[in-house]
Amino acid sequence: MGPPKSKKRVRKQADPEIGDAISQLNKIAENVSEGKPYDEFGKYVAAELRQLPQREAILLQQEIQNSITRVKLMCLGNDNQLNNYYREPLQEQTFSLLSSPSDPSPASSATYEANVQNDKDSVYGNDVIHQALLNTFSGAEFEIVEEVSQ
């Protein structure tokens, strides 16, 4: 008997369709990771809305949408106006919603504590969601429970 014959490995070239599919999957993965923080924030807002009584949740949802629309419109206009909007300081207050006569739920109340940076130079010094909450509560019957100072 002679030495065993060695088998030659034949390397097959990858199908070009497989390479294209891999490229497409990579692009999809990049797009998914880009939007993830916004998706997570949206889920957070949804969870917060679910915890509110229906009337307050609907009003707050409207205010959030109004804030988004207002900022988008400002982006179409003057950029300086948008920058000034975000640089305005907000005061910190605690609000307590009072039940309204049209709300049949038993004395349901919600408390919102606003903790906002008071730095005039901070881009985050005037949070859009915070402003929406203040707008919502200013239209409702409310009382200031306590003034929070830094």
In tens, the pLDDT along 57-94 reads 999 999 999 999 999 999 988 665 555 655 555 444 44
Q: Tell me how far apart the alpha carbons of residues 75 and 15 are, in angstroms, rounded to a whole number.
A: 47
Query: How confident is the model at residue 137, as a pLDDT?
Result: 56
For residue 4, tell me if it sits in a domain. Answer: no
Query: How confident is the model at residue 85, as a pLDDT?
Result: 57
**Taking a C-beta distance cutoff of 8 angstroms, is the pair 142, 97 a contact?**
yes
Query: How confident is the model at residue 2, as a pLDDT?
Result: 65
Domain count, the chain: 1
Query: How confident is the model at residue 106, as a pLDDT?
Result: 42
For residue 57, tell me if it sits in a domain. Answer: yes
Q: Which domain holds residue 60?
A: 52-147
For residue 23, tell me if it sits in a domain. Answer: no
For residue 14, tell me if it sits in a domain. Answer: no
pTM exceeds 0.75, yes or no: no
For residue 128, tell me if it sits in a domain. Answer: yes
Q: Which residue positions in the chain have pLDDT lower than 70? A: 1-4, 7-14, 32-35, 78-150
Helix (H) or strand (E) holding 97: strand 93-97
Query: How confident is the model at residue 136, as a pLDDT?
Result: 58
For residue 36, tell me if it sits in a domain. Answer: no
